[in-house]
């Protein structure tokens, strides 16, 4: 079983739609959680950290459920520029562990 699992997608949505991605992790001792964005053939860039209380940054909302070992990312009012791969990342055993990512395609 992979340490961080994500649905690879792609998720095809029209502009303005709301879309949600999920991620599960296997190490219950993991302490820190993040969502990164990766554009094609580029390095990953930190999108936001994920806190137990849930957190919001503009159109993006992240949630963490420690009991279920589950992380989510909600994107509201999707823009064409949101098209990318979204990586779920967990700090486990003192290193960043990346999921394979979920690909999002936003169309006009």
Partner 1 sequence: GAVVSQHPSWVICKSGTSVKIECRSLDFQATTMFWYRQFPKQSLMLMATSNEGSKATYEQGVEKDKFLINHASLTLSTLTVTSAHPEDSSFYICSANQAGGPLAEQFFGPGTRLTVL
Q: Which one of residues 24, 25, 35, 44 is an interface residue with partner 1 (CB under 8 A)?
A: 44
Map residues 48-87 to x or -, x wherever contact with partner 1 holds by CB under 8 A: -x-------------------------------------x
Q: Which of these segments, 13-21, 36-44, 56-64, 66-74, binds partner 1 (CB under 8 A)?
A: 36-44
100 Ramachandran zone, left/alpha/beta (phi>0; psi -120 to 50): alpha
């Amino acid at each position: 079983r992979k340490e961080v699992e994500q649905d690879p997608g792609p998720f095809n949505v029209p502009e303005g739609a709301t879309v949600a991605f999920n991620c599960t992790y296997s190490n219950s001792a993991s302490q820190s959680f993040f969502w990164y964005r990766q554009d094609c053939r580029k390095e990953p860039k930190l999108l936001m950290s994920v806190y137990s209380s849930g957190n919001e940054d503009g159109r993006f909302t992240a949630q963490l459920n420690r009991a279920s070992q589950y992380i989510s990312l909600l994107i509201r009012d999707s823009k064409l520029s949101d098209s990318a791969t979204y990586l779920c990342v967990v700090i486990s055993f003192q290193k960043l562990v990346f999921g394979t990512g979920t690909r999002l395609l936003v169309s006009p």
